[in-house]
Amino acid sequence: MSSSSSNCLVSGSSFSSSLITRSSCSLAIRRNEFFPSTQRRSGSDNNSTINTNKTLKTHFGRVLCNSNAQSNQQPKGEENIKEEEEEEYRVVTAVRSMHNDIIIVDTAKARFLLLDSTHNVHSVLNKGQKWTGSYWDEFVTLPPIVPEGPIAIYGLGGGTAAHLMLDVWPHLQLHGWEIDQMLIDKAREYFGLSDLETRTKAGGILNIHIGDALSSTDDNPTRYAVVECLITNDHVGIVIDLFSEGNVLAQLQEVATWLELNKKLMPNGRLMVNCGDIDEKSHLVNGKAHNRSADTWDKHSTIKALSKAFPGQLSWKRMPDTHGANYLALTGPLPDLTSWSAMVPDVLSESVRQWRPCAQFQDEAL
């Protein structure tokens, strides 16, 4: 999801990894293959089986390997990866809304949501096991460290985070924000999103809101929904997963944005943020790329803005390359990692221990 001030409004999460970078995550197909008219704002489903070329096979084979990864699994051998790369991939729908190019691709093992002109992976639904092996899993760790109460998801996309959170914590009251009504319709049809809109036996539910959660301008036609649900401090946690054209929204690199978002939280509430991979230009030395180390949070413009908004009250972690390489941020005091790791599913226990406090950031301008 994105702000209405952006030229291209996109909702959802951007999958960033050393295997699937923002630039290499695009489909190896011609844009007009699915969208023959640049003037068309919507379209009918394109149900077709594609015998993919090598580039497309590699693209989805690697996404599939990554999405099926568990934290305790070893890398797969070349033969297994080759078999996955040689699978056929079926495009179950390809439409254009007023906000997105929406492509949903199905394989024998998973279903993927690709958005905007980058065709980045914004949601994944695995078949046979729930964990994605990427940053979506990390959002499941938020409920144990916030008070009881509603949690918002900014950038609902296909609902990957919502599925995982309600599966593990079926009592949760989730409010998912997405700017694109057509995307939500497709997610209900192909990603089981409508199932989450029915109360669980424990009383949990996903409430979906169509609109731009970051906007509060008078000319925003969905402003009434923002005022109704998110203007007051009525959430104990907000998951933020907002990208446009493969990049974190520009608003999220501004301190003022984070100060406003903090006002939406109840006392002791927290923000958990997918910050994406490190900025393309920020890890260049004399114009050449250098290896990113584990202490590069201060090179990330989004985390820098967060550290200024929440001095001494921000933690961070970087996902391993095999799990997406995304940077994550968490506001509030660093929780006791031993207690926190004991409260989450075993598959996430070790990952929780990787959170580290950000040293107070000084002087350098954003």
Domains along the chain with CATH numbers: 31-126 (no CATH), 135-357 (3.40.50.150)
Q: What is the mean pLDDT of each run of 10 residues along the chain (366 residues)?
A: 32 33 32 37 36 39 42 48 62 90 92 85 90 95 97 96 98 96 96 97 97 64 37 82 85 94 95 81 42 58 93 93 87 98 97 89 45
Helix axes 54-67, 78-85, angle to 10 degrees: 120
Q: How far is the first Cα of the chain from the last one, in angstroms, to the nearest whole number?
A: 23
Contacts of 291 (CB under 8 A, 6+ apart): none
Whether the Cβ atoms of residue 49 and residue 92 lie closer than 8 Å to each other: no
- Estimate to the nearest angstrom the gap between the alpha carbon of 166 and the chain centroid: 16
Would you state the pLDDT for residue 83?
Answer: 53
| pLDDT computed for residue 32 by the predictor | 36
